[in-house]
Structures are given as C-alpha cells and as structure tokens.
Amino acid sequence: MKSALITGINGQDGSYLAELLLEKEYKVYGLLRRKSVVDYGNAEHLVDKIEFIYGDMTDYVSLAKAMKISQADEVYNLAAQSFVATSWEQPIATTQIDALGVTNLLEAIRIIKPEAKFYQASTSEMFGLVQEIPQSESTPFYPRSPYGVAKLYGHWITKNYRESFDVFACSGILFNHESERRGKEFVTRKITDAVARIKLGVQDVLELGNMSAKRDWGHSKDYVKAMWLMLQQEKADDYVVASGDTHEVREFVKLAFEAADIQMEFTGEGINEIGIDKKTGKTLVKVNPKFFRPAEVELLLGDPAKAEQILGWKREISFKELVGRMVQNDIKLVGKELSNI
C-alpha cells in the first residue's frame, strides 16, 4: 500500500486529491493546522479515512514529524495562503507560508525520506503580466502580487532540490480551477453564491471589482488527477495544467445567472457598468472599486499540450458545466440554510 502526505488537506484541492488517492487505495495522511475550534473543512466527510497530523508550513519541526510519522512515498504540497488579494494585506505571512514553507517541507523530505516524491502547487499567477499568449512551461514569469512572487520562489526551490539533491520534485503550474468546494472569497464562488441568494430572494445585488479580467477556468476534480499523474512518471518535471480556454469574469457572471434561469444583461461602462434583470429592470450587479487590486493579472490562458501528451491528462468538465454545477450546488446550500432558520 502506497502512502501519501497531503498538506492543505482541508482546502479545495486537498479534499479532491484525498478522494482520488483513497480510491487508488493509498494510506492518506493530511497535515492540519491546529485551530481553537477543530475544523476539517472540505475534508469533513473523510475524517474516518484519513490520518490527520497537526502541523504548519512555517514550522519545520512539525513537517519533519509529519514525514517521520507518515513515511510518505508521495508528498503533495497544497498548503498556501492562496487568496491573491490577501497577499497585499499579509505579504510577510504569505511569503513565510508560500515561499519558505516549501523549503521547510523539502528539507523535511531530504532529511527524513529523500526518496519520497514531491509535488509543488505552482500557479499561473507566476505569469502575471503575461509575456506570451498562451502561457506554457517556457513562458517567462512576471508575478504581479506578493502571492505570485512567493509562489515563484516555491517553484524555483522545487526545481533546485531536483537539480541539487536529486529529489523527485515536480511543479504543476495550474491555472484557475474551481468547484462546489471553492472558498467564497474567490470570484467564481462569490458569484455563484450571490446568484443563488438573489434567486432565493435573500440578496439584492452582487458587487464585483474588475470584470474584464480573463481567466482559464477548469474544475478542481480534473486538475488533481494531473498532480497524481506527475508523480507516476519516470522522470520528475514541471507541467502547465489548464483548459486552453479563457473567459472574462463578466462571462462567468452572465452564465451563472442563466444557470439560475435569470436573464441578465450588462449596460454602462467602467465603474458605472451594471447588470440588470431583463424582465424586471432591477440592478443585479454593480462595480465596487474596493475589489480592485493594486496590480492586476488581466489575462491568463494556458497551453496544456505537454500535460496532454506526456501525462495523457485531459480536462473533462467544461466551463459551462463548471458554472452550472456551482450554481445548482449553491442554490441547494442556500435553500438548506434558509429552511433551518
């Protein structure tokens, strides 16, 4: 039986990856931060199937202990302060977790079990102010946020441990992936949650920042398969994982309202742009500059050719299906919340 250690176990990707590895009969260990109230988050339904180990990416000793206890054959580093906007408010914590945290974990592997295979959750945010369209493994990086800069360090230190110490270390440069388990501060889930509340009559308006930003969106369930595939190859390498399509935030909003049977259209420009209900004329969407970022990533579009050719990976859930699944799930969740009041 193979064993795996997943950091960020209670996050979006951690929970889907744990499900995938359990299906493949791995013994799964999950690194969990100690909080005042125990919270398994997205891994709540897996508590009987996973062995949790308390630890923190900023604490080398806890990571060394996690490696000692788990003796993991495969280590997936998904833990991060992952919200770009917060990285300007907490640049130092973001760096300690997303940059130095990776070195802490690589050192724990090198010292305790150097033959373990390592996956690093790199990100399309490293392309930032994009130097090429679409972005591939050879596109130069230009991060635009403290998060992007910290992740770029994590990316290079992973490569460095591969080249310096022969650790089987891979980076997955994953483009945006969402799901029914996405945190509600990220734009997709913020939209689908608001659409559900508007549909059920408990919210009037959805306020957003830059709706012209374009993202290459896929479903997390598809993307965790690529993580696993990377660690099953003969040779450690880095791969872009993306859908190969890009959409404006505005398009996501429109499709989300459509999925809830609300016909909405945009009118006006800049900060005066609004989305109105075609039937009633009511304003459903507004711009609030408070959600603008100090530096924006305007366009992300990935080229997944290498992952498709070498890993045999292909995304299965389309953009339209992703939006539909998230909206239907939020309508169900908000409905349940209201019936409990």
Q: Mind telling me the catalytic residues?
A: 123, 125, 147
Cβ-closest residue to ligand NAP?
11
Among 43, 57, 66, 84, binds ligand G4F (CB under 6 A): 84
- 330 within 8 A of 196, measured Cβ to Cβ: yes
Q: Using the structure block, give the residue that is written with the tokens 């039937």.
A: 279
Q: From CA 121, how far away is CA 227, in angstroms rounded?
A: 9
Compute CA 42 distance to the chain's CA centroid, rounded to the nearest angstrom. Answer: 13
Q: Cβ of residue 290: shortest distance to ligand NAP, in angstroms?
A: 21
Q: From CA 298, how far away is CA 133, in angstroms rounded?
A: 12
Q: Cβ of residue 162: shortest distance to ligand G4F, in angstroms?
A: 21
Q: From CA 233, how far away is CA 89, in angstroms rounded?
A: 39
Is 186 a residue that touches ligand G4F (CB under 6 A)?
yes
Binding string, residues 43-82; x marks residues near ligand NAP by CB under 6 A? -------------xxx-------------------xxxxx
Among 105, 187, 284, 326, binds ligand G4F (CB under 6 A): 187
161 Cβ contact partners less than 8 Å away, ≥ 6 residues apart = 106, 110, 118, 167, 169
The nearer residue to ligand NAP, 72 or 264, going by C-beta atoms, is 72
The nearer residue to ligand NAP, 264 or 297, going by C-beta atoms, is 297
Which of ligand NAP, ligand G4F, none has residue 46 at its interface (CB below 5 to 8 Å by kind)? Answer: none
Binding string, residues 141-180; x marks residues near ligand NAP by CB under 6 A? ---------------------------------x-xx---
With CB under 6 A as the rule, give the number of residues binding ligand G4F. 25
Q: Residue 6: what are its φ and ψ, rounded to 5°?
A: -115, 120
The nearer residue to ligand NAP, 41 or 244, going by C-beta atoms, is 41
Q: Cβ of residue 317: shortest distance to ligand G4F, in angstroms?
A: 17
Residues 181-210 that bind ligand NAP (CB under 6 A): 183
Residues that bind ligand NAP (CB under 6 A): 7-8, 10-14, 31, 33, 41, 56-58, 78-82, 97, 121, 123, 174, 176-177, 183
Residues that bind ligand G4F (CB under 6 A): 82, 84-85, 123-125, 175-176, 185-188, 190, 208-211, 213, 215, 249, 291, 293, 296-297, 300
